[in-house]
Amino acid sequence: MTGNRLSRTTLAGLDPAGSPVRLPAVDPADVTVGLVHLGLGAFHRAHQAVFTEDAAAATGENGWGILGVTQRSARVVEQLAPQDGLYGVLTKGTDETSLRLVGSLRDVAFPGTDTARVLTTMAAPTTHVVTLTVTEKGYRRGADGGPDLTDPDLATDLGALAVEVRGGRADAPARSPLGLLLRGLAARERADAGPLTVVCCDNLANNGAVLAALVGAALDAVPDGARLREWIDASVRFPGTMVDRIVPATADAHRAEAAALLGLTDAGLVVGEPFTQWVIEDDFAGPRPAWECAGATLTSDVAPYERAKLRVLNASHSTLAYLGALRGHATIAQAVADPDLAAAVRALVDEDVLPTLIAPDGMDLARYRDDVLARFANPNTGHTTVQVAMDGSQKLSPRLLGTVRDRLAEGAAPTAAALTVAAWIAYVRATTQGELVVDGRRIALDDPLAPALAAAAAGPLDTLADRMLDVGAVFGDDLPDSAAFRSAVRAAVASLVTARV
Ligand code: CS2
């Protein structure tokens, strides 16, 4: 990219009157950090950071700046630090495009080099909230849903934590989000900095309770962790949330479009659809941004919203991703425009998902389904099937297998949901055999369990479904024992791998 780059200095030179771009709603110079975010991907920048900025602008509170912490690489820090944390959100609707700059990200850090600074900020009395978007796989859960203590990164972090809870100093950089969070909690307890709220914003079923349980179980593995556990029980809350906005990977075409609007280049640009929603359980240990002033819903019971979103939106998304990629559709919009695939998604929602849901207050679930499908049809986000298809081993359970379990418990055969499972199996097979080409590009399987999945997928086609259903990390101990489920998946796999839908 060439030309001047977005930063506080170049921002000052923009003419708000003549600009088609919405300038930050807060003056970055006035904002101090009160919130630490783990997982500084595109989703956070297009979602919680925007809500947080709007809440600060609505209330005039200037203590809710964000320290954004990347997960695995320093790349995002390299994109955002030279821009003083400023970046744009390019909103692509079906008929309109707009660009707004966000000023709430006040600092960025990479644990590989900045762990001490992150821990100090988590332990500051001015910090009250930690939010997380580290994706499903970021939690490093084992087959039983608890923390995978054999994960080398988590094990290293728990080793450092064991030193820190004894009052020692571990200089090792944090390597896993859960480890970083625990070390931050330990630092805060030691600093006696007051209560903290940890807000999980990932697409896990019961995300708040799941994160609280992971923290507790990881701490069980740490000798001398009892005092920290007591403090967490007394002073830390883990509210559940439902987060929603379609945020595709930023493409060069998006960067060029934003640069033309802004007159500056922006290496931190993110893209999103116009729709955005955040439902948060109102269970905070201390102060929080007034997110309700920015359109978020604060509620005592987030579960019906979260369940409806995971089971309708995310399950449909995965269905379109796998079936769509298998048919060579590059984008979700192309997949949902394919009448066979639209019919498959409707069958999934109507036959298997809706019978398992209770509508949240004021919500019409059939209308919700239609709205979701209309959002998927937006051709301008460019959201790819392959992006949504990644990490299937981590995503199937929260978005689909709860539906399967509930249907089986009612004595129903979840035939439509079995097609999604079969589509994932066919996708794993095709990608691990080097047989899948989308948009002229050969697609490899992108999944943390890829080696195990490739091994299960290799071999005769007539037993493919059975080998895959025996992957316990995905299907648990119970689903492989269900004859109804097994026969539905076998039939659906047979229809896909021979006829390709
Ligand atoms: C998608 C989600 O990539 C995926 O798995 O289903 O990221 C989806 O776009 C968001 O949850 C929408 O809120």
Q: Is 314 in the pocket of ligand 1 (CB under 6 A)?
A: yes
Residue nearest to atom 1 of ligand 1 (CA): 388
Question: Are the CB atoms for 318 and 392 separated by under 8 Å?
Answer: yes
Q: What span, in angstroms and rounded, lies between the C-alpha atoms of 240 and 48?
A: 14
Residues 400-445 have pLDDT tens digits of: 999 999 999 999 999 999 999 999 999 999 999 999 999 999 999 9
pLDDT 10s digits, 147-191? 999 999 999 999 999 999 999 999 899 999 999 999 999 999 999
Distance from the alpha carbon of residue 330 to the mean position of ligand 1, in angstroms: 16
The CA distance from 56 to 63, in Å, is 8
- Ligand 1 atom closest to the CA of 244, numbered from 1: 13
Question: Distance, CA 77 to ligand 1 centroid (Å)?
Answer: 24
Check residue 3 and give its pLDDT: 66
**Dihedral, CA atoms, 147, 149, 151, 154, nearest 10 degrees?**
80
Q: What is residue 488's predicted lDDT score, i.e. its pLDDT?
A: 98
User: If the chain, 501 residues long, is cut into consecutive pieces of 10 residues, what is the mean pLDDT of each piece?
Assistant: 83 87 95 98 98 98 98 93 98 96 98 97 98 97 93 97 95 96 98 98 97 97 95 98 98 96 97 98 98 98 97 98 98 98 98 97 95 97 97 97 98 98 98 97 98 97 97 96 97 84 38
Q: How far apart are CA 292 and CA 58, in angstroms?
A: 10
Distance 16 CA to ligand 1 centre (A): 33
Any ligand 1 atom below 6 A from CB of 246: yes
Closest atom, ligand 1, to C-alpha of 391: 5
pLDDT of 178: 98
- In angstroms, rounded to a whole number, what is the distance separating the alpha carbons of residues 218 and 221? 5
Query: Given the CA of residue 317, which atom of ligand 1 is nearest to it?
Result: 6
Is 8-299's fold the same as 303-500's? no
d(CA 251, CA 497): 32
d(CA 281, CA 67): 23
Q: Which tokens hold the place of 288? A: 């929080």
- DSSP symbol at 280: E
Q: Whose CA is nearest to atom 11 of ligand 1?
A: 244
How many Å lie between the centroid of ligand 1 and the Cα of residue 483? 31
Residues shown for the chain: 501
Residues whose CB is less than 8 angstroms from the CB of residue 406 and which lie 6 or more positions away in sequence, other chains included: 356
Task: Return the SS3 of 66.
Answer: strand
Instruction: Give the closest residue (by CA) to ligand 1 atom 13.
Output: 244
d(CA 182, CA 177): 9
Q: How far is the CA of 393 from the centre of ligand 1 (A)?
A: 15
Q: 334 in helix, strand or coil?
A: helix
Instruction: Tell me the CA–centroid distance for residue 314 and ligand 1, in Å.
Output: 6
For residue 274, report the distance from its CA to the centre of ligand 1, in Å: 14
Q: Where are the domains of the chain?
A: 8-299, 303-500
Which residues, in sequence order, are CB contacts of 19 under 8 Å at separation 6+? 262
Nearest protein Cα to ligand 1, atom 8: 246
Q: pTM above 0.80?
A: yes
| Atom nearest to 203 CA in ligand 1 | 11
Say how far apart CA 448 and CA 457 lie, in whole Å: 15
What per-residue confidence (pLDDT) applies to 143?
Answer: 85
Judge if the beta carbon of residue 203 lies within 6 A of ligand 1: yes
Nearest ligand 1 atom, CA 383: 9
The torsion angles phi and psi of 298, rounded to 5 degrees, stand at: -100, 130
Q: Does domain 8-299 have CATH number 3.40.50.720?
A: yes
What's the 43 CA to ligand 1 centre distance in angstroms? 9
In the reported structure, the alpha carbon of residue 116 is separated from the centroid of ligand 1 by a whole-number distance in angstroms of 32
Provide CB contacts within 8 A for 86, sequence distance 6+. Answer: 6, 7, 8, 11, 24, 28, 80, 101, 102, 103, 105, 268
* DSSP 8-state secondary structure symbol assigned to residue 444: P
Q: What is the pLDDT at residue 54?
A: 98
Question: Where do we find the tokens 């509508």?
Answer: 359
User: Where does 303-500 sit in CATH, by number?
Assistant: 1.10.1040.10
| Ligand 1 atom having least distance to the Cα of 245 | 13
